[in-house]
Amino acid sequence: MNKGFNNIKKIVITGPPGSGKSSLAKKLGEITGYDIHHLDRYYHTANWIPIDKNEFTEIVYEIIQSEEWIIDGNYRRTLELRVERADLIIYFDYCTIFSFYRIYKRIVKTKLFSIKRTDISDDCKERWFDKNFVLWTINFNRRNRVDIINIIKDYKSDVALFYIIKSAKDAEKLIEYIKFTRKFNSEAV
């Protein structure tokens, strides 16, 4: 049974680094008015130091107790928790080269044009080059893609919607469809 976009209250967005998870979360937040939770903001403290894993899990658990939310990020440790409670799960299925293009485009914007990122902790500064992040990005699809999709399929509820985004055009179509159905349903009331 498809419960439609008007009944969606809990959204999980995941996928490779640089795929547009936070950008989509912001757009969906504007449409829905739901609180947006960028997991990177919770996981990293000053200078990209991670918090304790148990503390992070507790934070995520607290967030998902709310009635409405949008959560973007990976963090497989908490993926099952998020997916089990989600009404809509979105996975960006982008190739590694496209991810790198988007990452370096983002770095140029933040470094050269002083555009502030709201999806990371204020004490984390964008870096021109980070070897660990480059390796994480290179290996993401090969090491994580299948496992993440399987977790989503195994843990999502029977009524949750699952969308795989393969291009920026797919993401725009999804946004437009959500806008349309929410507007249509609100006018029909």
Region 34-56 average pLDDT: 90
* CA dihedral sign of residues 104, 106, 109, 114: negative
Structural domain of residue 42, as residue ranges?
5-183
More confident: 181 or 51: 51
**What tens digit of pLDDT does each residue of 103-129 get?**
888 778 776 767 777 776 767 676 767
| Measured distance CA(25)–CA(13) in Å, rounded | 7
**Is residue 158 one of the residues assigned to a domain?**
yes
Who wins on pLDDT, 53 or 121?
Answer: 53
Q: Map residue 121 onto helix, strand or coil.
A: coil
- For residue 11, being part of any structural domain is answered with yes
Question: Which of 77-91, 94-108, 150-164 is the most confident on average?
Answer: 77-91
Compute the average pLDDT of residues 42-59. Answer: 89
| Res 99: pLDDT | 86
Read off the tokens for 127. 């870096």
Q: Is residue 103 part of a domain?
A: yes
Phi, psi of 121 (to 5 degrees): -60, 145
Instruction: Check the CA dihedral 86-55-25-19 and report its sign.
Output: negative
91 is a domain residue: yes
Asked if the structure places residue 188 within a domain, the reply is: no
Fill in the amino acid letter for 101: Y
Least confident among 3-17, 125-139, 140-154: 125-139
Total of domains in the chain: 1
What's the CA gap between 121 and 65, in Å, rounded?
Answer: 22
C-alpha dist (Å) from residue 15 to 46, 52, 143: 24, 23, 12
Report the CATH number at residue 124: 3.40.50.300
How far apart, in Å, are the Cα atoms of 60 and each of 82, 85, 114, 182? 8, 12, 30, 27
Strand 10-14 to 36-38 pairing: unpaired
Per-residue pLDDT, 2: 42
Provide the pLDDT for residue 116.
72
> Regarding predicted confidence, which is higher, 106 or 32?
32
- For 167, which DSSP code? S
Answer whether residue 189 is part of any domain.
no
**Average pLDDT over all residues of the chain:** 86
Higher-pLDDT residue of 122 and 42 is 42
Q: Which residues pair with 56 in a beta bridge?
A: none
What per-residue confidence (pLDDT) applies to 182?
75
189 pLDDT band, cuts 50/70/90, is very low
Which pLDDT band holds residue 101 (cuts at 50, 70, 90)?
confident
Question: 98 Cβ partners below 8 Å, 6+ apart?
Answer: 18, 19
* Position 34 in a domain: yes
pLDDT at 185: 60
